[in-house]
Structure 1
Amino acid sequence: MSYFVTGTDTGVGKTLLSCALLHAFAARGKRVAGFKPVAAGCDEDDRNGDAKRLRAASSIQATYGQVNPYCFVRPIAPHLAARHAGVRIDFSRILTSYRELAGQVDEVIVEGAGGFCVPLNEKQDSADLAKQLGLPVILVVGMRLGCLNHALLTLRAIADLQLECAGWIANVLDADMPALQENIEALRERVAAPLLGIVPFQSQPDACAAAANLNLDLLEKKQADG
């Protein structure tokens, strides 16, 4: 089973938690690969930092192009970055790369770009990509002021596409967030999908440390229950 990881916004820890999921599955003996279909913002080597971290956390030595089919220089909305580069993001290219990776491993962790509905071209967005991939979705909720609205709206968008939300992860972004536990409980009361883990605030984000806070048994139980 592979998963599509999305977030309540950009900068909420999707890459951290995607890598954490890769580490957690690998610790159970699974062959894993990270996949970043679209990335905007490159390092000096013309590669995206998030995609490089996903590649490093994978079990196989995939090429960078397999892990990240579309990489754009400017750190702006993907469809705008593509337009500035004179490129149109084509889902068929993404699906081909995904299938190549999926054929080599037990689990692919696909990290979406930005939030769930961020545009990828003139007509399609990240939600459309998740739909075409047909994967269960894991939602990373950045625990900070405003997260309840963002989380519930994202979950509604996932449901509207008739996609399964396999679970959600509470990633604490604000070490001093008021009423943190109450906010987490508010979501637990309203979200049918299981809470896969609460990742404490990290001043230096560490995917291996984050993995220790995830309960993959809940994913496997949900899969077994059908």
Structure 2
Amino acid sequence: MFFVTGTDTDSGKTHVAAAMLHKARTSYRMKTVGVKPIASGCERTADGLRNADARMLIAESTLKLDYNKINPFTFEPAIAPHIAAADIGVDLSPEEVFAQLDLTQYAMADFCLVEGAGGWRLPLGDNRYLSETVVALAMPVIIVVGMKLGCLNHAVMTEELVRADGLQVAGWVANRAQADMARFEENLASLKQMMQSPCLGVIPHLTEPSVEDMASYLDLTPLMQQR
């Protein structure tokens, strides 16, 4: 079980996580499941609040679970989850997030990804963070680097924070979400020098990204060696 975090909100971690699940189930013939514990910006449906990111993970999961097992905390407004939770009186403490994760069910998959929201220090309120739940579960972390100006600092700081919290960084993915990033190759070379964990892939800018296309740029071998 791996935790997927991003260098910022728009790093593309959901698309990358879905591509990893796709790669694991098609290239490695693994039973997969993707989990999105907390999601803001959800849509009201006949079945309740539903989140597009969670649905993307579900589409690439071979292990089919009830929606609330994949996305237990859903908030309609597209705002910081701890603010949305406070507005409706929902307990979003690290302990409650932990309690809502069905680890027994997730363990039935060969390859499980738990995707965060925002970056590593996603606030849950009362000076608590989602990273505390990840630490309690001792999950190795995958960092999705949104390739844009400032990403070198954000990537290195995220890796350092994860390590400072006592967790392993299993690897990182460079995702070129912005086509117009200046000196992309030079920045990528710098990132490869600065990061201590293995690069799992470099995804170029894709006009209409699909999980199949993105998966073709990924190498999950380092993750398979850590399972």
Scaled to the shorter chain, the TM-score interval is: over 0.9
Query: Tell me, what secondary structure is at the counterpart of 2:43?
Result: coil
- After superposition, residues 147-226 of structure 1 pair within 5 angstroms as 147-221=151-225, 223=226
Any conservation in 2 of the 1:5–1:138 contact (CA below 8 Å)? yes
Normalised to the residue count of structure 1, the TM-score between the two structures is 0.93
1:29 corresponds to 2:32 = no
Judged with a 3 Å threshold, the aligned counterparts in structure 2 of structure 1 residues 98 and 159 are, in CA distance, closer, same or farther, namely same
1:25-48 superposed Cα distances (whole Å, 9 cap, x missing partner): 112111110000111111232211
Q: CA RMSD in A?
A: 1.4
C-alpha separation in 1, matches of 2:126 and 2:93: 11
- 2:98 matched to which residue of 1? 95
C-alpha separation in 2, matches of 1:24 and 1:98: 24
Judged with a 3 Å threshold, the aligned counterparts in structure 2 of structure 1 residues 134 and 98 are, in CA distance, closer, same or farther, namely farther
Any conservation in 1 of the 2:93–2:128 contact (CA below 8 Å)? no
How far off its partner does 1:170 sit? Answer: 0.2
Match of 1:105 among 97, 106, 109: 109
Query: Tell me, what secondary structure is at the counterpart of 1:44?
Result: strand
1:155-182 superposed Cα distances (whole Å, 9 cap, x missing partner): 1111110110000000001112111111
Q: Percent identity?
A: 38
Task: Flag structure 1 segments of 5+ consecutive residues without an equivalent.
Answer: none
Query: Tell me, what secondary structure is at the counterpart of 1:11?
Result: coil
Aligned residue pairs, count: 222
- 1:15 matched to which residue of 2? 14
- 1:4 matched to which residue of 2? 3
Judged with a 3 Å threshold, the aligned counterparts in structure 2 of structure 1 residues 213 and 154 are, in CA distance, closer, same or farther, namely same
- 1:65 matched to which residue of 2? 68
- 1:76 matched to which residue of 2? 79
Any conservation in 2 of the 1:7–1:115 contact (CA below 8 Å)? yes
1:69-94 superposed Cα distances (whole Å, 9 cap, x missing partner): 10111111111111112111144443
Worse-matched range after superposition: 212-221 or 79-88: 212-221
- After superposition, residues 114-129 of structure 1 pair within 5 angstroms as 114-129=118-133
Normalised to the residue count of structure 2, the TM-score between the two structures is 0.93
Judged with a 3 Å threshold, the aligned counterparts in structure 2 of structure 1 residues 98 and 203 are, in CA distance, closer, same or farther, namely farther
Query: Tell me, what secondary structure is at the counterpart of 1:12?
Result: coil
Aligned amino acid, residue 18 of structure 1: A
Any conservation in 2 of the 1:79–1:122 contact (CA below 8 Å)? no
How far off its partner does 1:103 sit? Answer: 2.9
- 1:54 matched to which residue of 2? 57
